[in-house]
Amino acid sequence: HGTPWFGLAEFGPKALRMGQHAVPVSLGLEWADPNSLLFARDGRLWVAGEQGLTWLRPAGLMLDSQSHLAPNPASTEPLFGRYAVGKQLPRIRPLGLVEGSDGSTWMGSLANGLFHLKAGQLEVFTAKDGLAGNYCVPAYWDNTDALWIVGEGGLSRYQHGRFRKVTPRDGLPKDVLLDLVQDDLGNFWISGKRGIHRVSRRELEDFFDGRVNHVHSLTLGVRDGLLTPECSSL
């Protein structure tokens, strides 16, 4: 998109910023630790934080007299909206955002499971549905229409309406998993509170399909050159 957007780990109306000059985004909303941002294919920006899940249309914002980004009063369509914690959402701490291939939004939480927002309808999935744990962060939507979810308890995959999981008992390191990326060789690199972990995506899929009963992982920590054992979460 060319212009950076970021949230600050603070509270108040100016915690969401845009651009190299950190222009505040003034929507008349309070922000509380806006920790996850996602640009969707329809042009909206989704922001998750302690207040809930907020969407806005950057193309409809303009600088106001205070040099803040604010909705263009000439716009004839809604430029922002919020699914508020304690109202449209239960009382949760939102974490992480991923867009599915159908344009729907997936959001995790600190202790209340995985949330799926599609056409204004909200679904909630928890460990009872097959997640590795209720502290979960959606991390990656892959080229097979599968969503990979990290968190406390292990790694989960959601595909074709079903969750599969792999846990430390199955070969993953015992750690709180925080984020995940795939490299060009087909490996997942997973950040955690105790280091960075590498595991083969193919081996995970073989495990889910029953072709192997154990996965292998490599962990890199302080003794391997990390400055601290805990890695960034989002």
Give the model confidence (pLDDT) of 6-49 as tens digits. 999 999 999 999 998 999 999 999 999 999 999 999 999 999 99
User: What is the reported pLDDT for 46?
Assistant: 98
Q: What is the pLDDT of residue 228?
A: 87
Percent of the chain with pLDDT over 70: 98
pLDDT at 88: 93
Cα distance between residue 128 and residue 64, in whole Å: 48
Looking at every residue in the chain, the average pLDDT score rounds to 94
Q: How many CA atoms lie within 13 A of 184 on its CB side?
A: 0
Structure confidence at residue 226 (pLDDT):
85
167 neighbors 131 (Cβ within 8 angstroms): no
Structure tokens at 163: 């969750």
Interval 194-202 mean pLDDT:
96
Contact assessment for residue 136 and residue 113, using Cβ atoms and an 8 Å cutoff:
yes
Q: Per-residue pLDDT tens for 143-166?
A: 999 999 999 999 999 999 999 999
pLDDT class for 126, splitting at 50, 70, 90?
very high
Rounded to an integer, what distance in angstroms lies between the CA atom of residue 214 and that of residue 160? Answer: 23
| Model confidence pLDDT, tens digit, residues 74-114 | 999 999 999 999 999 999 999 999 999 999 999 999 999 99
Q: Which residue has the higher pLDDT, 229 or 2?
A: 229
Q: What predicted TM-score, i.e. pTM, was given to this entire model?
A: 0.92
Does 233 have pLDDT greater than 70?
no
pLDDT value at residue 231: 85
pLDDT at 227: 87
What is the 3-class SS of the chain, one letter each residue? Answer: CCCCEEECCCEECCCEEECCCCEEECCCCCEECCCEEEECCCCCEEEEECCEEEEECHHHEEECCCCCEEECCCCCCCCEEEEEECCCECCCCEEEEEECCCCCEEEEECCCCEEEEECCEEEEECHHHCCCCCCEEEEEECCCCCEEEEEECCEEEEECCEEEEECHHHCCCCCEEEEEEECCCCEEEEEECCEEEEEEHHHHHHHHCCCCCCCCEEEECHHHCCCCCCCCCC
- In the predicted structure, residue 229 carries a pLDDT above the cut 90: no
pLDDT higher than threshold 90 for residue 2: no
Neighbours of 208 (CB within 10 A): 17
